[in-house]
Amino acid sequence: MIGKEFIGRESESVVLKIRSEEVRRFAEAIGISFDGEVPVTYVGTLLQAKIPGFELTDPGMVHGEQKITYQRPLSLGDSLTYKRRIKDVYERTSKLGKIMIVVLETTGYDLACELVFSSSSTLIIPVKEATNEESV
67 sits near other proteins (criterion: CB under 8 A): yes
User: Coil, helix or strand for 136?
Assistant: coil
Contact 116, 53 (CB under 8 A): no
Length of the chain in terms of residues written: 136
97-116 binders of other proteins (CB under 8 A): none
For residue 81, the minimal CB distance to other proteins (Å) is 18
81-100 binders of other proteins (CB under 8 A): 96
Contact 74, 43 (CB under 8 A): yes
Q: Which range binds other proteins by CB under 8 A, 1-9, 21-29, 81-89, 99-107?
A: 21-29
50 sits near other proteins (criterion: CB under 8 A): no
* C-alpha 61 chain-centroid distance: 13
